[in-house]
Amino acid sequence: MPQDISKSNEIPVFDILPRHVGFIMDGNGRWAKQRGLPRSEGHKEGAKTFRKIGEYAADIGIKYVTFYAFSTENWKRPEAEVNAIMSLFGDYLNEVIERIGENEEKGIKLKFIGDRRGISPELLNLMNYTEKLTENKNKVTLNIAVNYGGRHELTSAVKNIAEKIKNGELSPENIDENLISDYLYTSGQPDPDLIIRPSGEYRLSNFLTWQSAYSELWFSDILWPDFTTEDFNEALRAFEKRNRRFGGI
């Protein structure tokens, strides 16, 4: 298994770093199944990896990181599993509050993207509180996509733009790519340069549908709970070698 750099003081140097990295955290259930454990145990281990990778991204200088934590489709999972995921989410937010001094030093700003309808009032309060608590941090913005779907995000953006046109606040001639981006959850942030998906799946699964138009993609067979900082480094080294032409020569 690759060494986990986060457990040492070694911080690698990269010639080119992506400004924004997206992670599709996949494989928690399979990780648990391989060990004869309930799926909730896989989500617990996956949550540890999420914390580790988020903090490491800040350490190496990546400015924006988006984690796909819970999709609009994940509500179809068994109720017990959904409840376990939401409980872990609450535990993480409470930990952020408890470790505010440490987080102050790390400079992590938390932002939650997705449709907040359907999320319990208790979790919503924690989400709002931690966003407010970290809003002035500027080392790294850590987006957590909860009840998120790329198509749903685009549909919401179109509805909001249409409402502005209906009210006479906007003209159809004003609509361009920049305007649409302004109505997305990631408004004001650069599009992801790199999207990483472990677990052996080779698709984006409705993640950052608009924003990923020119993202570099990196896939691996590693299940998310086993994903290490060294694996992250491998993806970043691969990114350094990509020739990003954006349609040019």
Do the beta carbons of residue 28 and residue 225 sit within 8 Å? yes
Nearest Cα neighbor of 198 from 67, 34, 12, 60 is: 67
Task: Please tell me the distance from the alpha carbon of residue 249 to that of residue 246, in angstroms, as a whole number.
Answer: 8
Q: Which of 9, 28, 59, 74 is catalytic?
A: 74
Nearest Cα neighbor of 139 from 54, 62, 40 is: 62
- Annotated active-site residue 4? The verdict is no
Q: Which of 26, 193, 226, 231 is catalytic?
A: 26
Task: Please tell me the distance from the alpha carbon of residue 2 to that of residue 9, in angstroms, as a whole number.
Answer: 16
Residue environment code for 146-163, b if the CB has 16+ CB neighbours within 10 A, otherwise e: bbbbbebbeeebeeebee
Between strands 140-148 and 64-71, the pairing is parallel
- Annotated active-site residue 74? The verdict is yes
Task: Give the residue numbers marked as catalytic.
Answer: 26, 74
